[in-house]
Amino acid sequence: MADAELLIEEVSNYLKPQDVEQIRMAIEFSRAAHQGQIRHSGDPYVTHPIAVARILTPLHLDAQSIIAALLHDVVEDTEISTEQIAERFGNPVAVLVDGLSKLEHIHFETREDAQAENFRKMLLAMARDVRVILIKLADRLHNMRTLGVMRADKCERIARETMEIYAPIANRLGLNEIYLELQDLSFKYLHPKRYAVLVKALKVARGNRREVVNKVLEAIRQQLEKKQIHAEVTGREKNLYSIYKKMQSKSLAFSEVLDIYGFRVLVEDTPSCYLALGALHALYKPIPGKIKDYIAIPKSNGYQSLHSTLFGPFGTPIEIQIRTREMHKIADAGVASHWLYKNGHATVNELHQKTHQWMCELLESLNDSRSSAEFMEHLKVDLFPDAVYIFTPKGKILSLPRGATAVDFAYSVHTDIGDRCIAVKINHELVPLRSELRNGDRVEIITAPHAKPNPAWLSYVTTNKARSHIRHFLKTMQSGESAQLGERLLSQALHTLNIKLAEIKDTCWDKLLRDTGVKTRQEILADIGLGRRLNMVVARQLTCNAETVSHEPIANPVITIQGTEGMAVQFASCCHPIPGDPIIGVIKSGQGLIVHTHDCPIMRKGQHGQWLDVAWDKNITRTFTVNLKLLVANQRGVLAKVTAVIAEAESNIENVNFGNEREYTALHFTLEVNNRLHLAKIIRSLRAIPEVFRIIRVQSTS
C-alpha cells in the first residue's frame, strides 16, 4: 500500500526506529480491524486513518499521536475496546483514542444534544491533552477532502459544522494551513455555485496578473538586497474564502478585489523585520491605517508578524507579511509547534500555557450551559476569531473578542474584579460599564467591596467567562433567597397543621429527601420559594406522625413583605405595588413570589399559580417605583417647576417622557417613593402648581 509506505517514510525522518516499528504495527492492526469495511468513495476504510496520520507528520507529532490517528475509528467502528488498545500500544494511546470516540452508546433526544455532548467530551479530552484536537482536526480535514461522495444535505450539514466549529478551533490553536483549507472546503459545499465561479475567475486572474506579481517579487528582492537584509521572499495567493468574504463585506465584484496576492518576507531575526518594513515602505507607499504589528502584540493563538498594505505598481494594493523563520513555523503549526521545537522554545511554552488556560476557561463556562443549544452558542461565541487587544493600567495586554465590554474585561482580569466592579475608566475617562472596547484602549476597573453582579450585564457581555460567572452568581443568590422565602412559606403551611418547623424530626426530612430524590433541605426550600413545589404538599409529606397534626382549622398566617427578599420576591410591573397598597401574592413556578395590588387588572383577568395572603412589613426602608401621568398646560418652564417640586418632596426621577393630549401636554414620570404616604405628599405638592390640571397614578402598563 503506497500511502502506508509514504507514512513510514515521513515518520522515519524525525522519529526513532523503535517508534517507526510501533507505527508499522499500528498500520497492520488498523488494517486488520477495518478488514472488509469500505468508505463511501469505494476505497478500503484503512486508507482514511493512514491519510489522517499523514496530515499530522508535517507537524512532527510524536509516535503516540500517529498511532492514535491510525486507530481513532477502531473503537467506534469495530469490536475492539480501548482496553485492548491499551494492552497492545500503551495507556496514553488508549486515552487519546477514547477522547476521539463519539458517545455512541448513550441515547440522546435530538441530534443537537448528541452533537453538544460529543463536543463537550472532546473539549474535556482536549484540556487534558491537546493532541486529541490535533488528531480530530486532521480527521475532519481528510473527511472534508473526500466529502463529495455524500448526499448534498449531509455535505451541507458537515460543512456548516466545520465552518462554525472546527475551522475556528484550528485558527484558535494557530494551525493556519489546516484552518485555511477547512474554510475553503466548507465554502465549496455551502455555496457550490459561488465556489465554482470564483475558482474559474481566480484561474483567469492568475494568468493575467502573473507579470505584476513577478515584477513586485523582483522589486522587493532587489530592495532588500540593496539594504543588505538577508531574506526569503515568496508570493502567495489569498485563500478563496477570504476573497469571497471581502467581496461580500464590501459589496465588490471579483474584478474589484485587487489584493488577491500577498507577499511573505522571511528574515533572520526580529530587528530585521522592522528594517525590512522600513525598506519596503521606501519602495512602495504604505496605505494609512493598514499597518499591524503582531510582533509587539501577538495574536492570542501565538501568531507573530508585521502586516502592511502598500500601493504597488499601477496603483494595485499589495499585502506584505514580514516575520522570522521561527515565527513562520509557529504561524503554520501553532500549538503543535511544541513537537517541532525540542529545546523548550520560550514562545512555544508561553503559547501552550495560554492555550491550556483558554481550554480550561472554555470548559468551565460550557459546563454551566443549561441546554445543548446554549452550549453550542457559547462554544461558537468563544471561537469567534476577531479580537481586540486591551491594556491594563500596568501595561499588561489582554486579548478579548471584538464587541467585548468593560465588564468582559473585568472578568478576564479576575472573577472577583468582575463581581465587584461598579465603574470603569477607559483612557482615563469614566464611561458606562456597557461601553464596547477598542484596540489599544487602556482600561481601569473601579470596584467596591459590597458590589455584586447586575442581571442587566447579561444583555451585553460577550465572553463565556463573564456570562457564566454572572449566571452562577445570580443562580446561587436566587437559590439562597428562594430558600429563605420557601422556609417562610413552609412555616406558614405547617402552622395550619398546628406544627412548628423546628419540631419536624430529621428522620422526616431524610424520608422526604429519599422519596423526592433531592440531595439537601436547601433545595426543597428553594423549590418552594420558586413555586416548583406547593408548601402545603411538602408540609403534609413532612408530618410523619399523624397524631401531632391538629384537625381543627387554624387561620393561615400572613406572609410579610420586607422588600429585602432579593430575587425571591418580585413586584409586579403591571401594577407597581408600593407599601400602603392592599396586596396579594401569587407563587408562579420558576419565578417565586410575585406581589400584585388587590385591584390589579391582570389579576382580575385570572392568574395561574398559588395565591397567598401577604402584607407589608411595618419597617421597610427601601424605595419602590411608581408611574405618574400629569396633564399640564403647554407653557414655558412647566417641566422645571414639576421636577423641582418632585425633588423637594425627596423623590428621585427614574424616567420621564412626553406626549400630547388635545390642548394639554402629558408628562409621564417614573418616580422612586418610600410608600403610599410619600406618594400622597408628592401628589399634594404637584397639585399646588397652577399649570397642572390632572394627576393620575398609572398602575397598569399593559
Cβ contact 237:201 at 8 Å: no
Cβ contact 182:396 at 8 Å: no
Please state, in angstroms and rounded to a whole number, the distance separating the CA atoms of residues 53 and 70.
6
Please state, in angstroms and rounded to a whole number, the distance separating the CA atoms of residues 129 and 57.
18
Q: CB-based contacts of 453: which residues, under 8 Å, 6+ apart?
A: 418, 419, 469, 470, 473, 474
Please state, in angstroms and rounded to a whole number, the distance separating the CA atoms of residues 402 and 86.
44
Cβ contact 477:419 at 8 Å: no
Q: Which of 497, 494, 538, 490 is nearest to 515 (CA)?
A: 538
Q: Which residues are designated catalytic?
A: 76-77
What does the radius of gyration of the chain's CA atoms come to, in whole angstroms?
34
* Amino acid code (one letter) for 38: I
The dihedrals phi and psi of 69, each to the nearest 5 degrees, come to -65, -40
Q: CB-based contacts of 436: which residues, under 8 Å, 6+ apart?
A: 403, 404, 405
Per-residue CA distances from 655 to 84, 245, 575, 579, 645 (Å): 70, 44, 17, 21, 16
Q: Which of 478, 423, 472, 427 is nearest to 451 (CA)?
A: 423
Return the bridge partners of 265, or none: 233, 322
Per-residue CA distances from 484 to 521, 528, 547, 629 (Å): 11, 10, 28, 37
Q: CB-based contacts of 593: which residues, under 8 Å, 6+ apart?
A: 485, 489, 529, 531, 559, 565, 568, 569, 570, 585, 586, 587, 612, 614
Residue with cell 477607559: 426
Q: Which of 45, 100, 35 is nearest to 67 (CA)?
A: 100
Task: Tell me 187's DSSP state.
Answer: H
Return the bridge partners of 667, or none: 630, 658
Please state, in angstroms and rounded to a whole number, the distance separating the CA atoms of residues 436 and 204.
43
Q: Which of 497, 483, 564 is nearest to 536 (CA)?
A: 497
Residue 172: helix, strand or coil by DSSP?
helix
